[in-house]
Structure 1
C-alpha cells in the first residue's frame, strides 16, 4: 500500500473521529494562542489530520490521491530506499510550514483556529508541477484543461486575491506557503529538476 493511501486513510479516520469527539478536535486544532502559551507546538502538525467537514476533507484527500502517487513514483527514482522519508518530509513539513505564518501572526489572539491538510497537499501538488509542468490540470470549477505551470500561476494569483478579499473562511495563504515549500523541497533535494522545469516550458513554445 502506498504512503499516499495510508495518509488518506489515517486522515479520513482521524477527521471523522474528531467530528464525533470535540475533545480531540479542540486538542488537535491549530489554535495559535494555545500553541504559544502552553507550548503545544504539536498543533501545527496535528491540525493537518482533522477537517472542517466532509467537503473540506474530500477535496484535500482527492487532490492528495491524484498527485501523491505521481510524486511517490518520482521519489522512488530520486531517493531509492529513502523515498518514503522524503515523501513524508515533503507532506508533513508542508503542513507545519503552512501553519507557521499564522502561528507568528496570531500567537496572542485566542480566537484564531485553523485546520486541514491543505498545506501538505499544496506541497505535493506544486512538487508534482515542478516535476511535470506540462501535465494537464483543471482548476475547479473552470472546466478548461491547462498545463501544470499555468495552473500553478493561476492558483497562486487566486490564493493571493482571495486572501486579500477575505470572502470565505478558507486559509488561502496556508495553501500558498505549502506550495512554496513543495517547490523549495524538490529544488533543494534535486536541484536539476528546476532547470528541467524551465526547459520543458520553454521548449513547448
Structure 2
C-alpha cells in the first residue's frame, strides 16, 4: 500500500512520497519489493500520490501496479479494493508501504501458520502510532488512543492471510466499500471481523528490527540503525 500522501512528514522531505526515501543505496519501496521477490512472492503495489516518482524507482521490477485515482479522497481500504483481483486463494501478505523491514522478519512471516495474523511489537507500548490489546495471541481491542493500561504492543503494519481465509476477507472488504466507508484503513476489514467474533491472531516480532516512517525522526532512526551495522 503506497498511495497515500504522508502529510505528517511531507514538509520535511520536500513532499516526495515517503516510500521513495533512500534506505542505503535503494529507496524504501524498492528494498521492500526486492525482499518479497527474492522470497518467491508475487508483488502488487497500489500507488496514488505522485505515482510517477514511485514508478521510476521500480519500473524494472516484475510486479503488478494498481492505481488509486481517488487517493486524495480515500484511505488505504479503497486502495486495497482497487487491487482486489490480486486477492486470490493463496497465502497473502498485506503491508503498508512506509514500513522498513529486513529478511529476518520475512522469515518470521513465512513460519507463521495462523491466519489471519497481524504483526505487533510488544516492546512498544508507550510511544507509537497504533496499539493492540491481545491475550493468548488473539486480538481484543485496538486504536491510536488505546488506554496505556490496555496496550500490549504497537501494530507493525503487516498482516498475513491464508488462502482459505481470502474469501472471508474479500466479502468483508466489499461490505465496507459498499457501505461507503472509503476513508478507513485497510486493516478495518480485520478489525470488523474481530469485532464480529472472527479470531484474529497477533504475533509478536520479538527483537527483529522494523520502523514505520511517519515522522522525520523515524527515517533518522532507520539511518542510525543501518550505520550501526557497518
TM-score by length of 2: 0.27
Question: Which one has the bigger helix percentage?
Answer: 1
Question: Which one has the bigger strand percentage?
Answer: 2
